[in-house]
Amino acid sequence: MISIDLEGRTALVTGSTQGIGEAVAAKLALAGARVGVNGRKPETVDATVARLNESTFTDRCFAAPGDLATGDGATALVEALPQVDILVNNLGIFGAEPALAIEDDEWRRYFEVNVLSAVRLIRAYLPGMTAQRWGRVLNIASDSAVVIPEEMIHYGTTKTALLAVSRGFAKASAGTGVTVNAVIAGPTHTGGVEDFVYQLVDKDLPWDEAQREFMRRHRPQSLLHRLIEPEEIANLVAYLSSPLASATTGAAVRVDGGYVDSIIP
């Protein structure tokens, strides 16, 4: 039986008040880690911490609020939480917009949130991890990094950049006992994705029908023919965060439901 033991480790999961981030925080807490829950609004973070501690029957989740899309916000968070063993860069924004309508400011906003938020925290926490000769950095990417969607090329481009960020920082920490990986998540069922689905299909459809129509029209490559549940992403993140994944680094590991049509991970 495989056992994931993160007892004594401290994790930070960015953008973890809902969706994939919340599921990852719960899974890491259940594996024994203390988990910093992050979001921009302290009251939302506090509510999520309470919900997670109740659902996991632990007191391992704690508040780590901050707007990581800004340098000042990242600095404040690192000052409040100066050392982590596991960093999960999950924070991200997405939305449908015609390619030719995306203005410079919107491109910059997507890079600040989806790429630079991760770079800032890796830069802050990697030295401590390498000093102790153990650490895990996981950057939550997307199938859109490889299969750029025509309806949100700005999102896809930032996720492609995140794959390069992961590979580059894995090289920067080579031989230290620290691993840096990207997780290529496929189309996942979250509140935000429900809103996104209804941007692209009939808003009057019941959710089950809307999901099927979205997958048929906009994500036909999926071999699951359904959206992935956040807990399914969290299972892989928990493994990659553990000592069991000590030989996996510099990788882009897929949990995409077979969406990316490739025999190479």
Per-residue model confidence as pLDDT tens digits over 154-174: 999 999 999 999 999 999 999
Asked if CATH classification 3.40.50.720 holds for the domain at 10-188+228-255, the reply, yes or no, is: yes
Q: Is the pLDDT of residue 265 over 80?
A: no
Of the candidates 105, 108, 77, the residue with the CA atom closest to the CA atom of residue 15: 77
Look over the chain and give the mean of its residue pLDDT values, rounded to a whole number.
96
Reduced to 3 states, what is the DSSP secondary structure of residue 262?
A: coil
> What pLDDT was estimated at residue 264?
84
Q: Is the pLDDT of residue 192 over 90?
A: no
Q: Is the pLDDT of residue 137 over 90?
A: yes
> What pLDDT was estimated at residue 191?
87
> What pLDDT was estimated at residue 236?
98
Count helices and strands in the chain by DSSP H and E runs: 9, 7
> What pLDDT was estimated at residue 259?
93
Residue, of 265 and 124, whose pLDDT is higher: 124
- pLDDT above 90 covers a percentage of the chain that reads 92
Residues 117-137 have a mean pLDDT of 98
Q: Which of the four pLDDT bands, split at 50, 70 and 90, describes residue 1?
A: low
Q: Which of the four pLDDT bands, split at 50, 70 and 90, describes residue 108?
A: very high
Q: Which residues are known catalytic residues?
A: 155
CB 214 within 8 A of CB 206: no
Residues 80-105 have a mean pLDDT of 97
16-26 pLDDT, tens digit per residue, is 999 999 999 99
Of the candidates 13, 65, 55, 51, the residue with the CA atom closest to the CA atom of residue 34: 13
Residues 86-100 have a mean pLDDT of 96
- Judged on CB neighbours under 10 Å (0-12, 13-18, 19+), 7 is exposed
